[in-house]
Amino acid sequence: MASPGALARATALRREIERHNYAYYVLDAPTIPDAEYDRLFRELQALEAEHPELVTPDSPTQRVGGKPLDGFAPVRHAVPMLSIRTETDTEASGARAFDARVRKELGLDETDLPVEYAAELKFDGLAINLRYEHGVLVAAATRGDGETGEDVTQNIRTVHAIPLRLAIDTPPAVLEVRGEVFMRRDDFERYNERQREAGKPTLVNPRNGAAGSIRQLDPAIAAQRPLSFFAYGLGEVQGWNNTPATHSATLDALAVLGVPVCGERITGLGATALIAFHDDIAARRDQLPFDIDGVVYKVNRFDLQRELGFVTREPRWAVAHKFPAQEELTTVLGIEVQVGRTGALTPVARLAPVFVGGVTVTNATLHNQDEIDRKDVRVGDTVIVRRAGDVIPEVVAVMLGKRPDPAPPRFNILQSYPVCPECGSHVVRLEGEAAARCTGGLYCPAQRKQALLHFASRRAMDIEGLGDKLVDQLVDRGLVRTPANVYKLNLETLAGLERMAEKSAANLLTAIETSKATTLARFIFALGIRNVGESTARDLALHFGSLDKLIAATEADLLAVRDVGPIVAQSIIQFFAEPHNLGVVEKLRAAGVHWPESTGLQQSAGILAGKTLVLTGTLPTLTREAAKEKIEAAGGKVAGSVSKKTDYVVAGAEAGSKLAKAQELGVAILDEARLLALLKPNNKNGQHALDF
Catalytic residue numbers read 122
Query: CA-CA-CA-CA torsion for 479, 482, 484, 488, nearest 10 degrees?
Result: 0
Q: Distance (Å, rounded) from C-alpha 584 to C-alpha 588?
A: 6
* Cβ atoms of residues 583 and 443 within 8 Å: yes
Letter string b/e over residues 568-602, b meaning 16 or more CB atoms within 10 A of that residue's CB = bbbbbbbbbebebbeebbebbeebebebeeeebbe
Q: At what angle do helices 206-214 and 185-197 cross, to 10 degrees?
A: 80
DSSP 8-state code for residue 246: B
* Cβ atoms of residues 398 and 383 within 8 Å: yes
Question: Half-sphere exposure of 619 toward its Cβ, with a 13 Å CA cutoff?
Answer: 21
109 C-beta neighbours (distance < 10 Å), count: 7
Q: Distance (Å, rounded) from C-alpha 452 to C-alpha 470?
A: 11
Q: Distance (Å, rounded) from C-alpha 457 to C-alpha 473?
A: 17
Q: Is the peptide bond before 406 cis (omega within 30 degrees of 0)?
A: yes
223 C-beta neighbours (distance < 10 Å), count: 16
The letter for the amino acid at 126 is L
Q: Distance (Å, rounded) from C-alpha 133 to C-alpha 171?
A: 8
Q: Distance (Å, rounded) from C-alpha 256 to C-alpha 167?
A: 7
